[in-house]
Each structure stands twice: as structure tokens, then as C-alpha cells.
């Protein structure tokens, strides 16, 4: 359905010096990380790329550490104890959902409605490298509907790439303001030397965009920096290379999702209902698994992930979405 839009990151200085924000850093430490992130269901390792359901998500993020404790509302966000290492971030993201057949002007009942979202994100990730847990807070603020410019973005991209022109955007879900708070807690379950780690995680989502709960586990195997040493070292390193795989199975209970609605059944005059009319056909309990590969050399990182998700709308098949992300640290 979506890539739980929801992921933020951490950076670690020296461990064990109690401070409110950031431990002392060495001159080799990276304190900034830029990420370019692209979800697309055409990125499909089995060769059967599609253009439907959650079809695209493009995101740009800048993550950074602070040399002093924050003075804004960030200071009130949950932290992972006095040993915590805190990383902050700002991002910009656009997402879109489309039905299976882009050639139809009128949407097909039982399929996805056209929908787009455009928003800013602010993230705070606080990790405790001593007790191996972290707390993540992420705010989303933006719009959906024609204001989100998803029609213009997809139409231009398909024209450039020579793909089928989407014809049904005039029937997309209407304009709405989006404000969401996502909270994540993770705890290490087991670590096998420096080659394998298992983490348990829980998430809660609340706001005008998404309301729900999720449980998952994260398994990492390979040559890597310990997960609770921080996020930036996972994707950039001044002293070593990294190559590791990830597996993330999970379940999600979705109460509401403003961007995901099935097309309403035909009305008396034989025309589809309004795209923003609920059909009550959305599945509430979802399952999925992410499998990925991360490669790092120096200050540059790359990741490739494939996600398989159970049907979001009753009667629609399961869905696969790939993600490619590039990282640059300094």
C-alpha cells in the first residue's frame, strides 16, 4: 500500500558521555546526510513492473546532527535517555495512487481511485547505543488532491519515458489538508557478533492522512555498522565499506487512509460514484515483507529494496513496489 511513509534516521558520536543531545565528535565524523529516495511499482525484480495502486513516491531529505540541544519544539520530542544520540531531518515528498487501467477516463468500480499527496516532513530520531533502542518521531504537513500536482508529475514523466498517458486524473480524490504524526519505537532482540542483528519495532500513525498501528521485525545480515550506532554510519563511512542485506516482515492495522479509497459502485444513472465517496472495501489488516540490499563505500551509499504487500482493497491483487535510494554524507 505504501511504503510506510513513514522512516527517519540517526547519527552517533562518541558513546557513554551523558549529554542532552549529541556526544563529542571526532573530525572524521559525518554530520550531514542527503538522501534521494524513489518508490515505484515499475521497479520490480521479477520483471513484471506495473503502474497501479501505490505507484510512486519521490522524496528528498537532509538529515543532520546538532552541536547544541534544540531550542524549538524539538526539545519536547521523546528522547532515548541521557545517552541518546539525536538526529534531525527535513524532507519533501510526493506520492501517488492510480487504478490498474490508466487508459480509462472513468474509474472502474472496485479499483483504486486516483490520488496524490505533497508534503513536507520533519523527523527526529533518538537512539540509545548503550541500551540498544530508539524512538522516532515524524511529522507530515501538506496537501492532497489537485493541489498536490500528482497529475502534472505523472503525465510529464510518462510523456518523457514514452509510457501510457494516464487519462483519469480529473476524477482524483479532492483537495484536503494533511497533517500526520508518526511514532516508532525499536529495540534490539539479538545480535550475533557483527554479522547479524534482529530488531523488533512498533509504529503508530495519527492525523488527517493515516491512522493505524504496525508491528514488524528488522533483520540485517552482512558486513555493517551496528544499527544502534546511528543511521548515517549505516549509509556512509570514512573508514570502511559495507555490504549487507535486510529483511523486514510486518503487519499493519489501518483504520483510515485518506489517500486510499476504492472507486464507488455505479449510481442509478449508470455512472461511477464520486472518487472521494467511501466504498468500505478497504482491507484493514495488511501484511508485507521488504527485502533489501545496502552497499556503502566511503561517504556514498546505495540501497535497493523490494516490497510485497497484501491487497489493500478487497478484490485487488497483492502489490509489489521497489525502492532505490542514494545517500551522500559530509
- Residue 156 makes CB contacts below 8 A (sequence gap 6+) with none
Which domains can be identified in the chain, with CATH numbers?
A: 32-329 (2.40.128.140)
Which of 215-224, 272-281, 289-298 has the weakest average pLDDT? 272-281
Which of 107-121, 167-181, 231-245, 256-270 has the weakest average pLDDT? 256-270
For residue 54 the three cell numbers come to 501505490
Phi, psi dihedrals of residue 153, rounded to the nearest 5° = -65, -50
- Which of the 8 DSSP states describes residue 105? S
By the 8 A CB rule, do 265 and 279 touch? yes
For the stretch 82-117, what's the b/e string if a residue is b when 16 or more beta carbons lie within 10 angstroms of its beta carbon?
A: ebbbbbbbebebbbbbbbeebeeeebeebbbbbbbb
Model confidence at 134: pLDDT above 70: yes
How far is the C-alpha of 150 from the C-alpha of 262, rounded, in Å?
Answer: 18
**Between 29 and 154, residue with greater pLDDT:** 154
Confidence class of residue 17 from pLDDT cuts 50, 70 and 90?
very low
pLDDT number for residue 39: 96
Confidence class of residue 3 from pLDDT cuts 50, 70 and 90?
very low
Model confidence at 20: pLDDT above 70: no
pLDDT number for residue 148: 98
pLDDT number for residue 271: 56
pLDDT number for residue 267: 54
Which of 3-12, 122-131, 246-255 has the weakest average pLDDT? 3-12
pLDDT more than 90, % of the chain = 64
pLDDT number for residue 45: 75
- For the chain, what is the mean pLDDT? 86
By the 8 A CB rule, do 160 and 114 touch? no
How far is the C-alpha of 321 from the C-alpha of 154, rounded, in Å?
Answer: 16
Model confidence at 21: pLDDT above 60: no
Give the number of other CB atoms < 10 A from CB of residue 148: 25
Model confidence at 277: pLDDT above 80: no
For residue 241 the three cell numbers come to 565499506
Confidence class of residue 200 from pLDDT cuts 50, 70 and 90?
very high
Confidence class of residue 317 from pLDDT cuts 50, 70 and 90?
confident
Model confidence at 304: pLDDT above 70: yes
How far is the C-alpha of 244 from the C-alpha of 322, rounded, in Å?
Answer: 17
Length of the chain: 330
Model confidence at 79: pLDDT above 60: yes
Model confidence at 151: pLDDT above 70: yes
pLDDT digits 0-9 by tens, 96-122: 999 989 999 987 888 999 999 999 999
Model confidence at 10: pLDDT above 60: no
**If DSSP codes are grouped into helix, strand and coil, which group holds residue 26?**
coil
Model confidence at 94: pLDDT above 50: yes
For residue 204 the three cell numbers come to 503508530
Q: Which of 127, 42, 139, 134 is nearest to 89 (CA)?
A: 139
- Residue 152 makes CB contacts below 8 A (sequence gap 6+) with none
pLDDT number for residue 6: 38
**Between 263 and 16, residue with greater pLDDT:** 263
Q: Can you give the pTM of this predicted structure?
A: 0.85
User: How large is the average pLDDT for residues 265-285?
Assistant: 60
By the 8 A CB rule, do 257 and 287 touch? no
**Between 9 and 62, residue with greater pLDDT:** 62
Distances (CA, A) of 37 to 94, 153, 212, 305, 323: 11, 16, 24, 11, 7
Amino acid at each position: 500500500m505504501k511504503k510506510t511513509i513513514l522512516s527517519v534516521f540517526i547519527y552517533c558520536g562518541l558513546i557513554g558521555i551523558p549529554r542532552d543531545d549529541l556526544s563529542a565528535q571526532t573530525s572524521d565524523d559525518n554530520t550531514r546526510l542527503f538522501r534521494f529516495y524513489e518508490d515505484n511499482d515499475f521497479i520490480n525484480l521479477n520483471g513484471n513492473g506495473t503502474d497501479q495502486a501505490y505507484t510512486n513516491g519521490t522524496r528528498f531529505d537532509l538529515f543532520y546532527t546538532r552541536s547544541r540541544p534544540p531550542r524549538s519544539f524539538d526539545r519536547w520530542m521523546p528522547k532515548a535517555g541521557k545517552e541518546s544520540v539525536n538526529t534531525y531531518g527535513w524532507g519533501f515528498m510526493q506520492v501517488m495512487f492510480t487504478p490498474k487501467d490508466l487508459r480509462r477516463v472513468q474509474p472502474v468500480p472496485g479499483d483504486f481511485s486516483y490520488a496524490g499527496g505533497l508534503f513536507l516532513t520533519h523527523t527526529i530520531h533518538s537512539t540509545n547505543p548503550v541500551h540498544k533502542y530508539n524512538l522516532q518521531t515524524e511529522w507530515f504537513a501538506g496537501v492532497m488532491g489537485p493541489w498536490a500536482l500528482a497529475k502534472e508529475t505523472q503525465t510529464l514523466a510518462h510523456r518523457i519515458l514514452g509510457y501510457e498517458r494516464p487519462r483519469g486524473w480529473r476524477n482524483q480524490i479532492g483537495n484536503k489538508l494533511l497533517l500526520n504524526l508518526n511514532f516508532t519505537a525499536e529495540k534490539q532482540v539479538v545480535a550475533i557478533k557483527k554479522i547479524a542483528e534482529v530488531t523488533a519495532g512498533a509504529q503508530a500513525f495519527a492525523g488527517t492522512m493515516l491512522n493505524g498501528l504496525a508491528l514488524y521485525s528488522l533483520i540485517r545480515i552482512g558486513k555493517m555498522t551496528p544499527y544502534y550506532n546511528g543511521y548515517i554510519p549505516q549509509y556512509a563511512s570514512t573508514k570502511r565499506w559495507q555490504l549487507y542485506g535486510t529483511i523486514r516482515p510486518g503487519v499493519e492495522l489501518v483504520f483510515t487512509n485518506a489517500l486510499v479509497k476504492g472507486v464507488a459502485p455505479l449510481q442509478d444513472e449508470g455512472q461511477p460514484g464520486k472518487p472521494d465517496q467511501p466504498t468500505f472495501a478497504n482491507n484493514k489488516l495488511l501484511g508485507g515483507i521488504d527485502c533489501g540490499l545496502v552497499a556503502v563505500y566511503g561517504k556514498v551509499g546505495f540501497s535497493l529494496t523490494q516490497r510485497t504487500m497484501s491487497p489493500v482493497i478487497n478484490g485487488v491483487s497483492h502489490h509489489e513496489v521497489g525502492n532505490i535510494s542514494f545517500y551522500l554524507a559530509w
